Chain A
C-alpha cells in the first residue's frame, strides 16, 4: 500500500484554503461566502489528516472531527441568519447589509 506523500496533502490544503479565502473576500453573495468558509475549514481538515498519517499525530483525527462538527453547527446558524436577513430585507449581497455602519 503506497502512502500519499505529505506534500500532496499540504498542497491540496493550501489550494483549498486559498480558494476559500478568495471566495470570502471576492464574492458578494451571502450563501457563497458561507460555502467558501466551509471550503477553508475543510482545507484545514485535509492538512490535519495529512499530519495524522505522516507524523503519527493522533490528535489530527480528533481535531478534524471537531472541526467537522463545528462547521456543521456554524453552517446551520449562518444559514439561519442569512434566511432571517433575507426575509426581513429582501437582500442577498453583503454590500447591502450596512445597518450597523458607524
Chain B
C-alpha cells in the first residue's frame, strides 16, 4: 500500500487541482501540487530503501486479455525503477517549487490548469518508471505525450507554442505507433509482455522476431527521446514555459525512451541488430545536436539541443551493452540539465519573459550572482569537469566507447568537446562582457532555493557512482587515461569558448562570416526540419490539393450530385403526407382502421 502511494499522490493532486482549482485559486493549487509531489518523493525514497536490495513486486489487478492468458498488471520496484522514481519525484518537486516564482505574474489567469497538467505529467512518468509490464508502460507513455502537448502549448495565444505542441504530438504519434507495434510483436514473440518473463526468455526465442520487436520498441524510444529522425519537435518544444522545459528535458519525458531501453536491456542485449541500430542512431543524434547547439542563439534551444545530444550519448552507452553507464548518465544529467534550465529561466524571468536570444543580454554576472553560479555549475557538470556529476557518468561512457571501438570513442570525444564549447559560449555571452540590457535583478527566494538544491545535486551526485554500480552488480572501472582525456576535452572546449567570447582573441562575428554555410547547415540541423516541413508536409498538402481538384470534385461530387434529383423528387412526394393538417391525419387513422376491419372481414 505504501508503495502505491507514490503513484496516488500525483493523481489526487491532479484531480483536486483540476476539478476544484477555480474555487481554490491559483496559489493554493500550486501549493497542493508541490505538496503532493514532495510526499510522493518521500514515499518513493522509502520504497527505494526497501526495494533496493530485494525487488518488490506489487500486483495491481488481473486484466483478462485472452481467455488462456490473464495479464497481471502491477508495479515493480527494483534498483533501477526505485532510484529513477526517487530522482524524478525529487527533481520534479523542486521544479514545481520554482514554477511558483516563475509563473507568479500569471496567477489569477487560470494558472491552476498548469499545475493540474504538471501533476498529471508526473503521474504518467511514474507509471512509466514503476510499471512491471509493457501495457502499463504504454499507458504512461501516452499520458506523458498528452501532458507534454498540453504543457508545450500552454501559452496558447502564441502561434509558435501551439505549432510546437502540435509538432511534438504528431512526431510522438509516429514513435508511439511503432512502439505499439513493438508491444504486439513482443507479445507474439514472448507470449507475455511482463518484464520478468521477457528477461528470462530473451535468449530462448526466435532471434529474428526478437530483433524486430526490439527495433519497433526502439522506434518508440526514438520518438520520445527526440533522436534522429524524429527529433525536430524537441528544440521547438522550448515554446512552453521554462519549468516545463526543465521537467521535460531533465528527468521525464525525453528520458522515458532511454529508461525503456534500460528497462528491457536484457532483451535488447540478445539482439545484435537492435544494438547496432541504437548505437548508430545515438551517434548521429549526439553529433548532429551538438553541432546544432553551437550555432543557435536562443537561450533555451541551446540547452534543448544539448539534451538531445546527451540522450544520444546515453543511447550509445546502452547500445554498447553498458546499462550502468547509460542509466547513471541519465541520473546525473537530470540534475544538471534541470539546473541549467532553471538558471536560463531565471534570466528569462528577470526580463519579464521578453528575452529569447543570448546576444540580447550580457554582463549579468554582477546583477544575478546566484543565477550565474548555478549556470556555471550546471555548465561545468555538463562539460564533464572533475569533480562535478557529469564527469563521472561521461567518464563511464567515454571509457566504454573506447573499449568498443576507436571510432565511437573519437565520436564521443568530439561530442564532448562541442558540448563544453557551446554551453560555455552561452554562459560567457550571457553573464560576461558588457551589459546589453538593463533592469536585471536576482530572482526571488522561491526560485533560488530549487537552484541551490539542484546545484548540490550537480556537484555531489557523481560520487554515488560506486554505490550505484554495486547496486547494479557491476564493477566500476575508472581508467586513468580516459580521466585525463575527458579533462583535456572539457578544458579544450571551455578554452575555445573563453578565448572567443571573453578574451575576444578571435572575433566571433568574423568567424560567423567565414563559416556562414556551415553555420546555416548546423543551425537548420542539416535541413531535416525544413525537409519535414517543406517536402513531406508540403508535398502531402500539394498532393491533397491535386486530389481535391480532380478526384473529389469530378468523381465524388459528380456521383453525389447525380443522385440529388432522385432523392429530391421522392422527398417531394413523401412531403405531401406530412403537411401538418390534423384532419388529414385523423382521416388517415380511420382509413387504416377501416382497412384493417375490411381485411378481417374478408379473411374468413
Binding site for B on A (CB under 8 A): 21, 24-28, 33, 94-95, 97-102
In the complex, what residues of B have CB within 8 A of residue A21's CB? 590
B: number of interface residues (CB 8 Å): 10
Inter-subunit contact A94/B578 (CB<8 Å): no
CA distance A87 to B289 in the complex (A): 77
From residue 570 to 593 of chain B, which have CB atoms closer than 8 A to chain A? 575, 578-583, 586-587, 590
Inter-subunit contact B583/A94 (CB<8 Å): yes
Contacts of A33 in B (CB 8 A): 582-583, 586
Of A25, A26, A98, the contact of B590 (CB 8 Å cutoff): A25
Q: B586–A24 contact, CB under 8 A? A: yes
Is A25 touching B587 in the complex (CB atoms < 8 A)? yes
Query: What is the CA–CA distance of A97 and B586 in the complex, to the nearest angstrom?
Result: 14
Shortest C-beta distance, A41 to chain B (Å), equals 14
Q: Report how far A97 CA is from B580 CA in the complex, Å.
A: 7
Cα separation A97 to B581 with both chains bound (whole Å)? 8
CA distance A100 to B581 in the complex (A): 10
Cross-chain contact B583 with A102 (CB below 8 angstroms):
no
Contact of B581 among A24, A27, A94, A102 (CB under 8 A): A94
User: Which residue of A has the minimal Cβ distance to B571?
Assistant: A102
Contact A26 B579, beta carbon cutoff 8 Å: no
Q: In the complex, which residue of chain A has the Cβ closest to the Cβ of B579?
A: A101
Known: A24-B583, A28-B583. A102 touches B578 (CB 8 A): yes
Q: Are B579 and A25 in contact (CB under 8 A)?
A: no
Across chains A and B, which 5 residue pairs bring their CB atoms closest together, nearest first?
A98-B580, A101-B580, A94-B582, A102-B578, A24-B586
Q: Which residues of A contact B587 (CB under 8 A)?
A: 25
Question: How far, in angstroms, from A98 to B578 measured CA to CA in the complex?
Answer: 9
A25 B580 Cβ-Cβ under 8 A: no
Q: A33-B586, A100-B580 are in contact. List 20 more A-B contacts (CB 8 A).
A: A21-B590, A24-B583, A25-B583, A25-B587, A25-B590, A28-B583, A33-B583, A94-B581, A94-B582, A95-B581, A95-B582, A95-B583, A98-B579, A98-B580, A98-B581, A99-B580, A101-B578, A101-B579, A102-B575, A102-B578
Report 9 cross-chain contacts, Cβ distance below 8 Å, ordered by A residue: A21-B590, A24-B583, A24-B586, A98-B579, A98-B580, A100-B580, A101-B578, A101-B579, A101-B580
Chain A's closest residue to B593 (CB) is: A21
Q: How far is the CA of A27 from the CA of B581 in the complex (A)?
A: 12
> How many angstroms from the CA of A97 to the CA of B582 in the assembled complex?
8
Interface residues of B in 435-451 (CB under 8 A from A): none
List the A side residues contacting B583 at CB < 8 Å.
Answer: 24-28, 33, 94-95
> Which of chain B's residues has its CB closest to A95's CB?
B581
> Which chain B residues have a beta carbon within 8 Å of chain A's beta carbons?
575, 578-583, 586-587, 590
Distance of A90 from chain B, by nearest CB (Å): 17
Hey, which chain A residues are within 8 Å of B581, CB to CB? 94-95, 98
CB-based nearest B residue for A98: B580
- Chain B residues with Cβ under 8 A from A26's Cβ? 583
Q: Which residues from A are CB-within-8-Å of B579?
A: 98, 101
A100-B582 Cα distance, complex, nearest whole Å: 11
Q: State how many angstroms separate the Cβ of A99 from the closest Cβ of chain B.
A: 7
Report the bound CA distance from A98 to B580 in whole Å: 5
**Which residues from B are CB-within-8-Å of A95?**
581-583
Q: Tell me, in angstroms, the Cα distance from A25 to B582 when the chains sit together.
A: 8
A61 to chain B, nearest CB (A): 25
Chain B residues lying within 8 Å of A97, measured Cβ to Cβ, are 580, 582
| Complex-state Cα separation, A28 to B590, whole angstroms | 17
Chain B, Cβ-Cβ closest to A101: B580
Q: Closest chain B residue to A40 by CB distance?
A: B590
Q: Whole-angstrom distance from the CB of A77 to the nearest CB of chain B?
A: 16
Scoring B578, B583, B590 by chain A CB atoms within 10 A of each residue's CB, the highest score goes to B583
Q: Which residue of B lies closest to A36 (CB)?
A: B586
CA distance in complex: A26, B580 (Å): 15
CA distance A100 to B575 in the complex (A): 12
Nearest B residue to A94 by beta-carbon distance? B582
Give the residue among A25, A27, A99 with the most B Cβ atoms within 10 A: A25
Residue of A nearest to B590 (CB): A21
A28–B584 CA distance with the chains assembled, in angstroms: 11
* Chain B residues positioned under 8 Å from A28 (CB to CB): 583
**Shortest Cβ distance from A37 into B: residue:** B586
Report the bound CA distance from A28 to B580 in whole Å.
13
- Closest beta carbon of chain A to B399's beta carbon, Å: 82
Which residues of A sit under 8 angstroms from B582, Cβ to Cβ?
33, 94-95, 97
Q: How far, in angstroms, from A97 to B579 measured CA to CA in the complex?
A: 10
**Nearest chain-A residue to B589 (Cβ)?**
A24
Residues of B within 8 A of A99 (CB): 580
> Cα distance A94–B584 when bound, in Å?
10
How far is B586's CA from A24's CA once the two chains are assembled, in angstroms? 7
- Rounded to whole angstroms, the CA-CA distance of A99 and B580 in the bound complex is 8
* Complex contacts, B575 vs chain A, CB 8 Å: 102
Q: How far is the CA of A84 from the CA of B131 in the complex (A)?
A: 65
In the complex, the chain B residue whose C-beta lies closest to that of A102 is B578
Q: In the complex, what distance in Å separates the CA atom of A92 from the CA atom of B581?
A: 13
In angstroms, how far is the closest chain B Cβ from the Cβ of A39?
Answer: 13
Bound complex: CA of A61 vs CA of B579, how far in Å?
40
Q: Is the CB of A25 within 8 A of B586?
A: yes
Say how far B423's CB is from chain A's closest CB, in angstroms: 72
Measured in the bound complex, the distance between the Cα atoms of B586 and A27 in whole Å is: 11
Q: Shortest distance in angstroms between B572's beta carbon and chain A's nearest beta carbon?
A: 12
In angstroms, Cα B87 to Cα A58, docked, is: 89
Nearest CB of B to A89, in Å = 13
Q: Which of A26, A27, A99, A102 has the most CB of B within 10 A?
A: A102
Contacts of B580 in A (CB 8 A): 97-101
CB contacts (< 8 Å) of A98 on chain B: these are: 579-581
Residue on A nearest B575 in the bound complex, by CB:
A102
Min CB gap A98→B, angstroms: 3
- B590 CB contacts on chain A under 8 angstroms: 21, 24-25
